[in-house]
Amino acid sequence: MSDATTEEVFDVVAATAPEIRATLVDRVGFESEENPSGEKQIAADVHADRLLEERLRPIDGVNEYASEERDELVTDGDGEDEGYGVAVDPVDGSSNIETNNAAGTIVGIYDGALPASGDKLVGAAYVLYGPRTTMVAATEGSVTEYVIEDGDRAVVREDVRIPDEAGDKGVFGFGGRVSEWPAEVEAFVREIEQELKLRYSGAMIGDINQVLSYGGIFAYPPLRSAPESKLRLLYEGNPIGYIVEAAGGRSSDGDRSILEVPPEDLHQRVPVHIGTTEYVDRLEAALD
């Protein structure tokens, strides 16, 4: 059993999920602002961020709130390593909303001041707004899948494990233009496309959820024009790396577990390769 604060964060995220789902329908237009990573925000990003901040901050034991959609950290403290810092990606895959494809919400719960290293995570979860609204949450080395109905989470699967071997259903999905990938990444993809089926949805959560179910690998690799790639360490790489590692898989920035990448900035980017251990090992060897 995990600690009370972590469970309360999961409860609040589940309780808020139906409202976030509703904003994906009602608030598809763009805001005039960009987020701190220079991407256009849709109104749903901004609204979901406000809802989560309003509800997560009052939780006993949560001292800091950081979001992909805001520049600054919201903090109750003085940056001391006390209490939990919660980092969220309110709407992951927001560019999928316009085309009515899957999106998600990600939360990472760090024991310490933000930005903290992935090693400080005590829990992480993602919500997937697909045909069903589901949540996958990890804490203390175990992963549970829930279905969310009326804001309550009900267990669907306990002790979720990523398949050790990607069988017939194994999938891969790599982000970025092929012409932007380093030659080693392209050569690796040519190899694994003989073994796995290509599935790339444009929402990390949608892609990760199928890798977790079927085995395989998801990546947003370093790009020629952006060696740090696209995804954010605090809000995406770490929480999803934590969940997949707890499910028996691996995460890597190309060199080491994403959870070991030193955090320098709230909006730091990181190359992401996550999935079945065998494929992440092989990718690291290819990049070596």
Closest to ligand FDP by CB, 93 or 241? 93
Closest to ligand FDP by CB, 29 or 58? 29
Sheet (strand 62-67) strand order: 74-75, 62-67, 84-92, 103-111, 121-129, 133-139, 142-149, 152-157
Which residues are near ligand FDP by CB under 6 A? 39, 92-96, 175, 202-204, 230-231, 236
Task: For strands 197-198 and 152-157, give the pairing.
Answer: unpaired
Q: How far is residue 37's CA from residue 33's CA, in Å, rounded to a whole number?
A: 11
CB of 13 to ligand FDP, least distance (A): 17
Closest to ligand FDP by CB, 99 or 194? 99
Closest to ligand FDP by CB, 130 or 202? 202
- Which residues have C-beta within 8 Å of that of residue 58, sequence separation ≥ 6? none
Closest to ligand FDP by CB, 92 or 111? 92
Q: How far is residue 234's CA from residue 116's CA, in Å, rounded to a whole number?
A: 8
CB of 255 to ligand FDP, least distance (A): 21
Q: How far is residue 253's CA from residue 250's CA, in Å, rounded to a whole number?
A: 10
Indicate the burial class of 132 (C-beta count within 10 angstroms; 0-12, 13-18, 19 or more): exposed
Q: How far is residue 286's CA from residue 288's CA, in Å, rounded to a whole number?
A: 6
CB of 273 to ligand FDP, least distance (A): 13
What pairs with residue 252 in β-bridges?
Answer: 273
CB of 100 to ligand FDP, least distance (A): 13
CB of 204 to ligand FDP, least distance (A): 4
Closest to ligand FDP by CB, 59 or 189? 189
Upstream peptide bond of 58 is cis (omega within 30 degrees of 0): no
CB of 81 to ligand FDP, least distance (A): 28
